[in-house]
Amino acid sequence: MASGRTTTGASERGEGFLALPLMLFYLLFFIAPLLLLFAVSLHADKDMAAWGLAQYAKALSDGFGLGVLFDTLRLGVETTLLCLLLGFPLAWLHRNAGPRWQGVIILVTVLPLLTSVIVRTFAWIVILGRQGIVNTLLLELGLTETPLRLLYTHGGLVIALAQVQLPLMVLPLIDALQKLDPNLESASAALGAGRWRSFFRIVLPLSLPGIIAGSVLTFSAAVTAFITQSLVGGGQQLYMPMYIYQQALTLQNWPFAATISVIFMVAVLFCIALFNLLGRYTRRYSAM
């Protein structure tokens, strides 16, 4: 064990140099701007003349801003849940399909990634609009008298975001389910467990790593999806990315924009930490 550790350490030191360019890149274009952002947020006034925590006091006592933050996190959670609900059956289908169908499912899953977010978002505007496909269909079928308001609503946005982010959920799920030994389900059945028990006791816990990875990816992508949020959510729906944009570029209030950015980032990291807490459970049995 001890000797094993030293060899790994030595090789890591040697190969560490390979990561140096990336480290420099991160330092210059990620860590430095982040520190700068933090520095800007520590100014008491709009013109950045004095230092102080005034912006934080303002942001944390501002009901409107906190409401926007809450809506944004809720958007992320709802999109993640919808992705999970749509993605798990798809990944399950992939697992039980023959090689040809597996290829088709993968293609259909990653296809959205090959088109621009803007194109996909406009497609949703066409689908959800007053004269969009959904409303036309509902009117023709006589299921509704007047067109439904789907576009520029929170619900419509969740649906559009879920479609846009679905690959981020499905790919880790497919990976996790493929690693699952089919004999485990057979063993569970032979021991007397029905399908649902096998699913909740065996399949679900063992695909947790994939669920966590997919959820973290979808959640962070959904809460920061500026373009889709703005176009499908429209003017009435305000989320953090647009709120920050308005404060910085429209109102030129850089310290306040920086402050809400920092608060937003901490909140998102907190949510991701919550997801990862679930991962603790899987580390207990997979680590030697």
Partner 1 sequence: MPDMAVQDSDTSPAFQKAGQSLTLDAITHRFGSATAVDDVTLDIRAGELVSLLGPSGCGKTTLLRIVAGFINQTMGRVIVGGTPIDDLPPNRRSVGIVFQNYALFPHLTVADNIAYGLAARGTDRAAQRVRVEEMLALVQMQLFADRYPRQLSGGQQQRIALARALAVQPRILLLDEPFAALDKNLRLDMQIEIKRIQKMSGITAVMVTHDQEEALSMSDRIAVLSQGRLEQFGTPSQIYDRPETLFVNTFVGTSNLLPGHLESSDATSCAVRLDDGLRLVLPRPAEKMAAGTAVVVSVRPDNLAFVEDGEGLAGKVELGMPLGTTIVHEIVTASGRALKVSSARSAGAQPFTSGTPVRVAPVSLDAVQIFPAPKQ
Among positions 263-282, residues that touch partner 1 (CB under 8 A) are 282
Nearer to partner 1 (CB atom), residue 33 or residue 205: 205
Nearer to partner 1 (CB atom), residue 63 or residue 192: 192
- Compute CA distances 138 → 65, 143, 144, 146, 160, whole Å: 37, 5, 6, 9, 19
Contact (Cβ atoms closer than 8 angstroms) between residue 233 and residue 157:
yes
* Amino acid at the residue 165: Q
Check residue 194 for interaction with partner 1 (CB under 8 A).
Answer: yes
Q: Which of 68, 151, 162, 206 binds partner 1 (CB under 8 A)?
A: 206
Check residue 97 for interaction with partner 1 (CB under 8 A).
Answer: no
Among positions 142-181, residues that touch partner 1 (CB under 8 A) are 181
Candidates 100, 197, 118; CA nearest to 164 is 118
CB of 96 to partner 1, least distance (A): 14
CB of 196 to partner 1, least distance (A): 11
Check residue 133 for interaction with partner 1 (CB under 8 A).
Answer: no
CB of 278 to partner 1, least distance (A): 13
Q: How far apart are CA 142 and CA 146, in angstroms?
A: 10
Instruction: Give one DSSP letter per residue of 53-114, joined into a string.
Output: SHHHHHHHH-HHHHHHHHHHHHHHHHHHHHHHHHHHHHHHHHHHS-HHHHHHHHHHHHGGGG
CB of 99 to partner 1, least distance (A): 15
Nearer to partner 1 (CB atom), residue 125 or residue 180: 180
Q: Which of 1, 49, 119, 190 binds partner 1 (CB under 8 A)?
A: 190
Query: Which range in 202-210, 224-232, 233-241, 262-270 contacts partner 1 by CB under 8 A?
Result: 202-210
16-21: long-range pairs with CB below 8 Å, 24+: none
Number of chain residues interacting with partner 1 (CB under 8 A): 22
How far, in whole angstroms, is CA 23 from its chain's centroid? Answer: 25
With 0-12 / 13-18 / 19 or more C-beta atoms within 10 angstroms meaning exposed / middle / buried, residue 219 is: buried
Contact (Cβ atoms closer than 8 angstroms) between residue 87 and residue 173:
yes
Check residue 193 for interaction with partner 1 (CB under 8 A).
Answer: yes
Check residue 288 for interaction with partner 1 (CB under 8 A).
Answer: yes
Q: How far apart are CA 162 and CA 82, in angstroms?
A: 6
- The residues that touch partner 1, with contacts defined as CB under 8 A, are 181, 183-184, 186-194, 197, 201-202, 205-206, 282, 284-286, 288
